[in-house]
Structure 1
Amino acid sequence: MNRFLSNATNRIDTKGRVSVPAPFRAVLAQRNVQELYCLQDLVFPAISVGGPDLLERYERQIASADPFSPEANAMSLLVHGGGVYMRLDAEGRLMVTDFIRDFTGITTEVTFVGRSDHFQLWQPQAFHEAQVAARAGRATFGVRPA
């Protein structure tokens, strides 16, 4: 297993830490990820979390544009200005910082959501609502009005 799949909701402890689900920790270990790049998602109220390859993917996109263009400038503002590095503690927990809380609205629980090559941190109700909306959109995909 080398992809982040499924979702799980864990409670934040009194010190502000949350246990990363074991399957997600296993993928991080398999990929030898020591330092996590965390980015405010560009679409959803979620924090995207991955290894250095996640940051590199965004930087390749930025590098493919004219460095003086408004698009490259805006993307760098989001990717570099909206990102931080974090580490798991020895027990596989992540500190739920103000960086995470302020952007997502997370308070007492975190929903971890697999996104193949990275995972996301969501406020549980926001994830539920986004998933309902995505399913509704898929239900009408390809359906033409009568």
Structure 2
Amino acid sequence: MFRVMSRFLSHATNRIDSKGRVSVPAAFRSVLAQRNIQELYCFQDFVFPAISIGGSDLLERFERQIASEDPFSPESNRMSLLVHGGGVFMKLDAEGRLLVTNFVRDFTGITDEVAFVGRADHFQLWQPEAFLAAQAIAREGRRPIGGRPG
């Protein structure tokens, strides 16, 4: 029996409206609905200039990792600073839009467009040119034999 897995895949770029809202791509909204995610956990990514977004399971995964460490260790404290201090909860409005707040803009450099990027169990918000540049760097050295040159 074939089982359909709900994953955030691909990427799409949408414009921010005059009220600071952006429509989440339908494919991503579908995954949120399949996973019954109502409240979005959003945090400043640890590596990229992006906001990572998932459900409470994403936050719980980080909290399990933090709890497995000595609560007074530098590593546990650094992780909590990133996971809790760099995170907020958000909700989609009735039309499936997110408000692009200063929390998002200041960390990512997003101005008038948002690149939505699938990351399997979560998705990210990127400034579109920054996403394309990061993707090009990730692709370097991974071209197949006989593939097109960079």
Partner of 2:48: 44
Distance between the aligned counterparts of 1:66 and 1:137, measured in 2?
A: 39
- Out of 113, 123, 133, the residue aligned to residue 119 of structure 1 is 123
Partner of 2:133: 129
Tell me the percent identity. 79
TM (norm. structure 1) is 0.94
Distance between the aligned counterparts of 1:65 and 1:129, measured in 2?
A: 35
Q: CA deviation at 1:101?
A: 0.1
Ranges in structure 1 where 5+ consecutive residues have no aligned partner: 140-146
- Out of 64, 75, 81, the residue aligned to residue 79 of structure 2 is 75
Ranges in structure 2 where 5+ consecutive residues have no aligned partner: 144-150
Q: CA deviation at 1:137?
A: 4.5
> For structure 1, which segment, 6-15 or 61-70, has the greater mean C-alpha deviation from structure 2 after superposition?
61-70
Q: Given residue 117 of structure 2, which amino acid in structure 1 is its aligned partner?
A: V
Partner of 1:89: 93
Distance between the aligned counterparts of 1:111 and 1:94, measured in 2?
A: 13
TM (norm. structure 2) is 0.91
2:87 is aligned with 1:100: no
CA distances 1:105-134 after superposition (whole Å, capped 9, x unpaired): 000000000000000000000000000000
Three-state SS of the structure 1 residue aligned to 2:46 is: coil
Distance between the aligned counterparts of 1:134 and 1:95, measured in 2?
A: 29
Q: How does 1:2-81 map to 2 (within 5 A)?
A: 2-81=6-85
CA distances 1:28-71 after superposition (whole Å, capped 9, x unpaired): 00000000000000000000000001101111111111110000
**Structure 1 residues 137, 38: CA separation in 2 closer, same or farther (over 3 Å shift)?**
farther
Q: CA deviation at 1:138?
A: 3.1
Distance between the aligned counterparts of 1:13 and 1:133, measured in 2?
A: 30
Instruction: Report the structure, 1 or 2, having the larger helix content.
Output: 1
* Aligned-CA RMSD value: 1.1
Distance between the aligned counterparts of 1:79 and 1:137, measured in 2?
A: 32
Could you list the runs of 4 or more consecutive aligned residues of structure 1 that deviate by over 2 angstroms after TM superposition? none
Three-state SS of the structure 2 residue aligned to 1:85 is: strand
